[in-house]
Chains A and B, each alone.
Chain A
Amino acid sequence: EAGVAQSPRYKIIEKRQSVAFWCNPISGHATLYWYQQILGQGPKLLIQFQNNGVVDDSQLPKDRFSAERLKGVDSTLKIQPAKLEDSAVYLCASSWTPGRETGELFFGEGSRLTVL
């Protein structure tokens, strides 16, 4: 079974530039999460989708971050314009568990963003 795929693995940009990350979850998983992980900290949830609907985006900085999950499969996370404090690893995870309850999560390898 293929795991969660993410790209790119690494990205370096100047502040105020834009960047987009892509995630393909495990086939059949209804729920998809984007997390931000700063070095030395646990992940922070940015947005949760169930199929193509948003379940929770309360911690997404909506003035600069956006995410979509068209057709309930792949997802993209965009940052525009980027700030220095956005330097982090962006993790995508998926779960077969429907609804708000969090079941077992399967993570991709992450996309490491460096903002200069």
Chain B
Amino acid sequence: KQEVTQIPAALSVPEGENLVLNCSFTDSAIYNLQWFRQDPGKGLTSLLLIQSSQREQTSGRLNASLDKSSGRSTLYIAASQPGDSATYLCAVSSLDSNYQLIWGAGTKLIIKP
């Protein structure tokens, strides 16, 4: 049964730093992996979707990587800004879960001005 873990649960860094958020999953037979952002009291916004055949995806200052063999994905945020403060969630779709997304609990990111 697929399980998704995000560690740490919370992270605080000064503005301007580059940072990495981690996501690990137990079953490497995935269909795709998605990273989302959630602002307080809001819904989720899709950031990046990586298909099983891909190793990374980039959008602006964000870069997501995928290593199926080790069951890991990272979200790299370059030159962090206070507006990046939010909770970041990863979710994995796999045949094991009947293609439904299995979610991590998220990492709450605070960027200090």
Please determine whether A102 and B93 come into contact, CB atoms closer than 8 angstroms: yes
Chain A residues, Cβ within 8 Å of B45:
107
With A42-B89, A42-B91, A56-B98 known to touch, is A104 a contact of B103 (CB < 8 Å)? no
Q: A110 at the A/B interface (Cβ < 8 Å)?
A: yes
Instruction: Give a binary string over A77-116; 1 marks a CB under 8 Å from any B CB, 0 the rest.
Output: 0000000000000010100000011111111111010000
Residue of A whose beta carbon sits closest to that of B104: A42
Chain A residues, Cβ within 8 Å of B4:
42
Chain A residues, Cβ within 8 Å of B46:
104-107
Q: B49 touches which one: A91, A104, A110, A112 (CB < 8 A)?
A: A104
Instruction: Give a binary string over A32-57; 1 marks a CB under 8 Å from any B CB, 0 the rest.
Output: 00000000111111001000000010
Main secondary structure of the interface of A (DSSP, over half): loop
**Count of chain B residues near A, Cβ 8 A:** 23
Please determine whether B34 and A107 come into contact, CB atoms closer than 8 angstroms: no
Please determine whether B100 and A45 come into contact, CB atoms closer than 8 angstroms: yes
The interface size bin for chain A is 20 to 34
Residue of B whose beta carbon sits closest to that of A101: B99
- Give the distance in Å from the alpha carbon of A58 to the alpha carbon of B99 in the complex: 13
Please determine whether A108 and B93 come into contact, CB atoms closer than 8 angstroms: no
Please determine whether A100 and B99 come into contact, CB atoms closer than 8 angstroms: yes
Q: Whole-angstrom distance from the CB of A35 to the nearest CB of chain B?
A: 9
Q: B76 at the A/B interface (Cβ < 8 Å)?
A: no
